[in-house]
A = this chain, B = another copy of it.
């Protein structure tokens, strides 16, 4: 590998991508998750890295300049562990490349989101990662006009002109319902609220697709709730418990783990057994919802990977604003099967 003096312009992720003839996300994968990349592609990317003397670690520069650059991350709500995972993945990756990262939690409030963005703008961070509730074009434009690149995470904005890192929420809903059908579900309830939120709507769509594509016939009934807070799950649990046995779904997908957990609490309190009488599944792998009496099956949205990829795209734009090409990276979710759909593990022998 060539040696470079600190004064020489460092190679960028996009240079590596160009030379190797692959996308930015492929380079990012070679750095973060090499096993996911075909060996031949990996070899090509590694050759380009070697050729250009690219180093993803900018700590050396930080040591020279005596300061660490920083990235602002503004998330929806830290109470949902998806956003803690995004923050951890982003911070680890940022640090590996010589940046520190600070976090603002919007607490599900667009006004607080705007306050955090103003703070990070005034603090002159090098760039921002935003996990918003809705499109926030004015905010993004203002930050850009101040020279700060922005990457959007976990939301697909209408405007094309920005990098985004998404988890496949449609696939999350699909995996959840396919699992329920494989467990034997034939009358499926979908509990959803806040369908104005993109991830919710996509999970519902994926759930319906799994039912449509099922080899066995599956009846689907939607059970709308007015919000995602625990009280709505509690009320829905009462409503499901009150149904006649032949009306009641044999399995329920709740679009968030918090809804699923509170539904289970209410069902079991009213003598309905989970999963024996009704299987219940969550869909965002939120550790805060694991506190119920019955461990919850769910779908992980792989927040740490979201955070890592977001930092790679952001730093590429920071390093080369003119040459940077916006990209969308979509990550696949993963299924986590626990007691609420398949019953108690049998490793423990009976008393």
Contacts and interface: CB of A to CB of B under 8 A. Distances in A.
A118 B288 contact: no
A122 interface: yes
User: Which of A84, A101, A122 has the most C-beta atoms of chain B within 10 angstroms of its own C-beta?
Assistant: A84
Nearest to A62: B115
Given A100-B116, A351-B276, A91 B105 contact: yes
A338 interface: yes
Contacts of A91: 105, 107
A292 B295 contact: yes
A198 to B, nearest CB: 24
A239 interface: no
Number of copies: 2
A78 B84 contact: yes
Interface in A336-351: 338-339, 344-345, 347-349, 351
A142 interface: no
A70 interface: yes
B100 A103 contact: no
A288 B291 contact: no
Contacts of A81: 81, 287-288
A205 to B, nearest CB: 28
Interface in A118-136: 118-120, 122-124
B295 A115 contact: no
Interface stretch (A42-50, A146-154, A265-273): A265-273
Nearest to A109: B95
Contacts of A223: none
Contact of A293 (B68, B345, B349): B345
Contact of A103 (B105, B274, B292): B105
A290 interface: yes
Contacts of A100: 104, 112, 115-116, 119
B104 A68 contact: no
A124 B124 CA distance: 11
Given A271-B347, A348-B271, A68 B105 contact: no
Nearest to A78: B84
Given A78-B84, A79-B88, A351 B273 contact: yes
Nearest to A265: B347
Contacts of A348: 268, 271, 273-274
Interface string A261-299: 000000011010110100000000001101111010000
Interface of A: 67-68, 70, 72, 78-79, 81, 84, 87-88, 91-92, 95, 100-105, 107, 112, 115-116, 118-120, 122-124, 268-269, 271, 273-274, 276, 287-288, 290-293, 295, 338-339, 344-345, 347-349, 351
